[in-house]
Homo-oligomer: A and B are copies of this chain.
Amino acid sequence: MQDKKSRPGPRPGGRSALVQAAVHRAVREIQAEGDEAQLTFPAIAVRAGVTPSTLYRRWGTLPELLSDVMVENLRPDKAPEDLGCFRADLSAWIEQYIEEISSVPGRNMLRTVLCADKTQNNVQCATYTLQQIEMLRSRALARGEKVPSADTVLDRLVAPLVYRLLFSAETPGPQHIARLVDAMPDISP
């Protein structure tokens, strides 16, 4: 829902969606080949089989296009693991999330999105995170567990870890994560 609201995106299968898919694929291929110098609108256009003006018209600048591609990469590819209780589910999910975005590609994704400052994409990062948290919450509620609000999870767990990731030299470790989970209200021990 939130996802749809925050970035309607092109009609699936429509011409515009096909162009987007081809352009995103071209960017991913060039990035996979690791040749940064090839990451230009003209080179991407040739690879995608579209005109450079299509790219300028649709994305304006390279950072905006890269931000769009990176946000796609940030889309979670699976539901969080179900370990039978909210605390365990939340801990496992956040540990994996931090591990992913603290990796070199993960940091690059985050940085690319923040650099372009395309609000829609910045918001999308948080929306993906919220959707995962909501999955964990509804699962727990179905089990009859008491759970904190999604905002509380963002404020008390995700934000402090992402802040450390962005503004400190160390990556938050399991102890740090456990400390934040333990300090969170409304979680059954």
Q: Given contacts A154-B160, A156-B156, A180-B155, are A166 and B111 in contact (CB under 8 A)?
A: no
Does residue A169 face the partner (Cβ distance < 8 Å to B)?
A: yes
Does residue A44 face the partner (Cβ distance < 8 Å to B)?
A: no
Does residue A125 face the partner (Cβ distance < 8 Å to B)?
A: yes
Q: What is the bound-complex CA distance between A132 and B65, given in angstroms? A: 38
Copies assembled: 2
Number of interface residues, chain A, beta carbon within 8 A: 24
Smallest distance from the beta carbon of A187 to chain B beta carbons, Å?
16
Smallest distance from the beta carbon of A12 to chain B beta carbons, Å?
25
Q: Using a CB-CB cutoff of 8 Å, which residues 105-122 of chain A contact chain B?
A: 107, 111, 114-115, 117, 119, 122
Q: Using a CB-CB cutoff of 8 Å, which residues 150-170 of chain A contact chain B?
A: 154-156, 158-160, 162-164, 166-169
* A155 surroundings in chain B (CB, below 8 A): 156, 160, 163, 180
Smallest distance from the beta carbon of A156 to chain B beta carbons, Å?
7
Interface flags, A32-46, vs B, CB<8A=1, else 0: 000000000000000
Could you pull out 11 A-B pairs where Cβ atoms are within 8 angstroms?
A122-B166, A122-B167, A154-B163, A155-B160, A155-B180, A156-B156, A156-B160, A159-B160, A159-B163, A159-B164, A162-B163
